[in-house]
Structure 1
Amino acid sequence: MSEYQYYEFLAVDRPLDDRQLAEVRSLSTRARITPTSFVNEYHWGNFRGDPNRMMERFYDAHLYLANWGTQRIMLRLPRGLLDIDIARDYCVGDQVIAWTTNEYLVLDLTSEDEAGDFDPDAVAPMSAIVGVRAELAAGDLRPLYLAWLAGYSAREAGEYAVDHDAEDLEPPVPPGLATLTAAQHALADFLRVDDDLLAIATQTSAPLAETTDVPGELAAWVQDLPVAEKDRLLLRIADDHAAGQAEQQARRAKARALAREKRIDELARDEEAAWSRIDAMIATRKPDQYDAAAALLTDLQALADRDGRRDTFTQRSQALRHTHARKPRLLERLDRAGV
């Protein structure tokens, strides 16, 4: 199979009317279209429609598959059910995107894996995943966190690019990660969430039962507290927050180490291909590609250290420096990376 693409759209809250059906039918003569669904498969050519536009105007959910490794799920909710600022806390690059129209909030969640084997029958279907839409509408943020975790993991493990420290603040960890629903499990599988990273995140996710509260009684209790007691509790909260940040940083460091270990294991399978990628990156003469090359070289250096081949790496990296001695911006990046 040289090419395969699958498009599915679903109208959940209300079916399409006759005018809307005529519009979507004009986009494809081969699609299977009903008032609540649109399904088409392509073995050559491309879909003429714009999935983003179709989600904004007609549908509440969209699933896309391609045999080159792209898996995409889009969800649309009325704007009052999920705040855009909350959704954006969980956005990651091109993997997790959120935007609004006049009436709706749209989530776009994507996973890429060019190296994986493609089997459309092994991918979770729309019917298994779409339940997370109702969960998000009810205030359950676990689907968003799973999407963030998948995007963060993909970026850390698979992209040699500039440092993203400014974007690396972890969003709030929602309760209940240890007890995902069936739809959330299907979403995690669809987005290829790393099991090890999910297990790490689960350690700081409170059980759902511990999140219940009675706001009215709590407000009355706080109002009746003496000022000195309130000050003491505020200081305790501040201390707990600092401790929580330290724990979060430790967890993120562990996740980074795990992601790097996986990258290095992958490099060990075809080290020569990595050196070829570095040559191609440098040949572009683009600053961001210089950064990417330096990041990849640091992993190759770590691989050499692990395998006791540091001398060989040093000789090769010095030869690379000699070849590109007239590229000061590249050499600056290599110096900063310690290569």
Structure 2
Amino acid sequence: MCNWNTSTPLQSFGECYWSIHGYYSLIVCLFGVITNLINIAVLTKKSMRTPINCILTGIAIADLITMLSYIPFAIHFYLVHGLEATPAKYSYGWTIFMAVHVNLTLTTHTVSIWLGVIMAIMRYVFVRAATPNSKKNMENSSTIIIIVFAYIGSAVLIIPNCLVTGIHEAFSDKYNASTFRLDSLSLSQNETNTMALLNFWVYPVFGKIIPCVLISIFGGFLLHTLRESDRRGSRLKGENHKSHSHRRTTLMLLAVIVMYIISEVPQSILVVLCACVDGFFVDVYLPLSDLIDAVALINSAVNFVMYCTMSQQFRDSLMESLMLVIRVVGEKSKVPWSENSITTPTFV
């Protein structure tokens, strides 16, 4: 139920949006799970195996894990239960799940943004080289090693957050039972311990600020290089099919980069303000936290749409896979029934 009578407009907005966030996030996550599975299936086909597609596959896997974790989280904490902290909503088991969910999604989200940075750098180097065989500068095996390091590095980056994630028990007189909640970090306060301070600065800097700056810089470089290439192409009066395909691929990757910038930069600014301004976390960030999640979920689910609309090769490969599935299903449906095909019943 939307209540606009809370103390601040932001808190009122947070409560009103909370009432629809569960349904919204569940729909987006279900769509994202299906589309990311399709992304992985198409991008890992033999004809699609390139360094850039390996990176996109790594992003799809990270986004898939994020959404698989968010589905039960949204169902339990938003759809099954209301805003009130009841013992059923915050049981010990579900609070443990929340702790795992928070750290897991922080890890996969960090993987996704850093792979986006790597993708931007690789594509910029490829376009800047401007040689027909420049794609051979990095093999798929080398790219896979980079992806593995991105996953491992992101997991290491979240270790301080795991160490400061605690659970405390509180007795509710109203329900005559205990509830269990995650410990809230007192940001910008003297009582904040060293590990908490380390965690709060390590993740925003290396998980948000640096990758956002890098992806913005190399995205800008890539756009500038693409414009230079277009000007050279116009002077040469014409371009072959291969260069046109490379240009469309670059535009698609630029669209992916822009989505990262739109979803990550505002959140990075808010996270930094949480550390620098007393009360900002409670008064501003928390009321907007569900909306921030919503934008991040959209970014994790929308890549399939961009691939389909901007990549002819992806569309062709997807249609080829769909036709194969339809043909296999059609052939199985035509298998004649016979006495030998009927399973003989057994009796115990």
Superposition TM-score, scaled by structure 2 size:
0.25
Larger proportion of strand: 1
Larger proportion of helix: 2
Return the structure number with greater relative CO, CA threshold 8 A, min gap 6: 2
Superposition TM-score, scaled by structure 1 size:
0.25
